[in-house]
Amino acid sequence: MHSAHETALPPIAQEQPKVRETFCPQRQRRYVLIAAILASSLGFIDGSVVSIAIPAIRADIGATLSEAQWISNAYALMLSALILVGGALGDRVGLRRSFAAGIALFIVASMLCAAAPTSSLLIAARTLQGLGAAIMVPGSLAIIAKAYPKAERGRAIGTWAAASALTTALGPVIGGMVLSAFDESVWRWIFAINLPLGGIALYLLIARVPPDEAAPHRRIDIGGALLAIASLGGIALGLTLLSGEMTIAGFNAPAVLIAGGLVLVVLFVVWEARQAAPMMEIGLFRERSFSGANLATFFLYFALSAVLFYLPMMLIAGWRIDESMVGFVFLPLSASIALLSGPVGKLSDRIGPRVPMAAGGLVVAIAFGGLGWLAGAGIHQFWTGVFLMMVLMGLGMSLVVSPLSIAVMTAIDDKDTGAASGINNAVSRIAGLVAVAALGSVAALRFAAVAGDASIPGFGEVPSGELSAELEALRVAASDRAFAAVAWVASAGSLLAAIISWLTAPGGSNQLPAPAEQAAG
């Protein structure tokens, strides 16, 4: 997927015309880079700002907590299940074509999200948006790698990464300010802004970038994609419904859905193992350090996704903090990763990824435990409490991100690095999908246990009118306890990631397997 069409120069280069190194002439490569940055910004901003906008969305269209979960999870389901297929599609039809198609679909779905009058239609539009993202996200970096020759590729990717980090950092802050300045309906503009940004990217790709070479014989694993959607969807839906009493043919509905999803996971593994061109190379998991790195990824990103989704609900709906302030809780994560990932990566090259990964997971666990303690104790301190814990979390994540990539990439043979990277990306997104589904039920059950039979808005729901002092105090206490339960589970998940990292990650530079050793293993 990240191949570059390069041609060796003839022996007497000065007497022959220079052969183009990639499909894209030098003067047009900047358009590829701009389009990739804009497209990445769409995905990054959408993921973070929507979490801040959830209370406003719920107030405007009357969405329940489970519907709010699926406003997030409908997008995450399609993205996590199809991101590997999206990468293969780019190879088959050409990266420029598939990348442009993904952006176009993302834009159309964004406009449907902006116009959605009900939560059901918003969830449907988010599903379509996730499908577009599954094609767009892997194409963003791949088209840069294919458009730039090796000598220039590092600088281009660095520019793309820096711009992406900047938009990731500023998106929630700006989005929070906009949400705070206007009424609840302004959330629609979060989706509508994708039209001009995506439109510029589409224009540059279609009008300024030549088509690249396609590989029409590359197979697309449709069966694997359908099994992934069905299995992950069943598990996520079952986890979402855990707090209810629904039944299917007389059986407990959540149990039926979760069990059915797990059966489909087994079928997915069997299917992938028998495919000549699978969307997920199951054989890579035979390597202990690769499996360990992905297991650590799952638990760490499970914890991170849960906190980043449910923390804004407690702060905005529970503590009545303006969205403009809440947007800042996302800042330490992107800022720390942008500033520290390079130095930590160099450290990991020298001492191995085990210590940074385990230490980072432990720091994140402490930060999430601190959030759980603050909420459980009813200490409503934003800057000296919540924000400080999020700074600690950002520092912990910056210790993990680069070493985790190193652990994944050094665990397998060089020829499998693209597949390994794609699998690790998918695992992190699946973790987020499961976290939002499962911990919503945890929050709802804990909220109900504290609230009892009192007639108050549910967790993450902004009251439509004034409550008595007694009911307001009960609502806030129930909200605090609900998020505390989420934070403590997230802390446990981060601690588990740290333990797995310590047990499975390479412990020193001299322990990193060489490609020949990997192949032999």
pLDDT digit string, tens, across residues 271-316: 999 988 888 889 889 899 999 999 999 999 999 999 999 999 999 9
Instruction: Check residue 262 and give its pLDDT.
Output: 96
pLDDT digit string, tens, across residues 319-344: 999 999 999 999 998 888 888 888 88
Residue pair 328/465 in contact (Cβ under 8 Å)? The answer is no
More confident residue, 157 or 495: 495
Same fold, 19-209 and 283-521: yes
Supply φ then ψ for residue 248, to 5 degrees: -125, 115
Yes or no: is domain 19-209 CATH 3.40.50.720?
A: no
| Secondary structure letter of residue 13 according to DSSP | G
pLDDT digit string, tens, across residues 64-109: 999 999 999 999 999 999 988 888 888 888 889 999 999 999 999 9
* pLDDT over threshold 70, residue 42: yes
Instruction: Check residue 201 and give its pLDDT.
Output: 95
Q: Distance between CA atoms of 484 and 374, rounded to whole angstroms?
A: 8
pLDDT digit string, tens, across residues 404-441: 988 887 888 767 766 787 888 889 999 999 999 999 99
What does the block give as tokens for 154? 């590092």
pLDDT digit string, tens, across residues 43-69: 777 777 888 999 999 999 999 999 999
What does the block give as tokens for 200? 């510029």
Q: Distance between CA atoms of 1 and 301, rounded to whole angstroms?
A: 25
Q: Is 206 helix (H, G, I), strand (E, B) or coil?
A: helix
pLDDT digit string, tens, across residues 193-204: 899 999 999 999
Q: Distance between CA atoms of 438 and 237, rounded to whole angstroms?
A: 9
Residue pair 509/349 in contact (Cβ under 8 Å)? The answer is yes
pLDDT digit string, tens, across residues 104-163: 999 999 999 999 999 999 999 999 999 999 999 888 888 988 888 878 887 888 788 778
Residue pair 316/463 in contact (Cβ under 8 Å)? The answer is no
* Domain boundaries, given as residue ranges, for the chain: 19-209, 222-274, 283-521
Residue pair 470/337 in contact (Cβ under 8 Å)? The answer is no
Q: Max Cα separation, the chain?
A: 88
* pLDDT over threshold 80, residue 516: no
* pLDDT over threshold 80, residue 31: yes
Question: What is the dihedral sign for C-alpha 7, 13, 19, 25?
Answer: positive
Helix ranges, 116-221 (H)? 119-147, 150-181, 188-192, 194-203
Superfamily for domain range 283-521: MFS general substrate transporter like domains (1.20.1250.20)
Q: How far is CA 206 from the centre of its chain?
A: 28
Instruction: Check residue 19 and give its pLDDT.
Output: 39
236 pLDDT band, cuts 50/70/90, is: very high
Instruction: Check residue 249 and give its pLDDT.
Output: 54
User: How many CA within 13 A on the CB side of residue 294?
Assistant: 23
**b/e map 125-150, b = 16+ CB within 10 Å:** bbbbbbbbbbbbbbbbbbbbbbbbbe
* pLDDT over threshold 70, residue 37: yes
Q: Is 248 helix (H, G, I), strand (E, B) or coil?
A: strand
User: What's the burial of 40, exposed, middle or buried (CB within 10 Å: 0-12/13-18/19+)?
Assistant: buried
Instruction: Check residue 312 and give its pLDDT.
Output: 95
Instruction: Check residue 517 and give its pLDDT.
Output: 37
Overall residue count recorded for the chain in this entry: 521
Average pLDDT, the chain: 87
What does the block give as tokens for 445? 């059950």
DSSP structure string for 438-476: HHHHHHHHHHHHHHTT-----TTPPPSS---HHHHHHHH
* pLDDT over threshold 70, residue 508: no
| Secondary structure letter of residue 249 according to DSSP | T
Give strand ranges (E) for 332-393: none
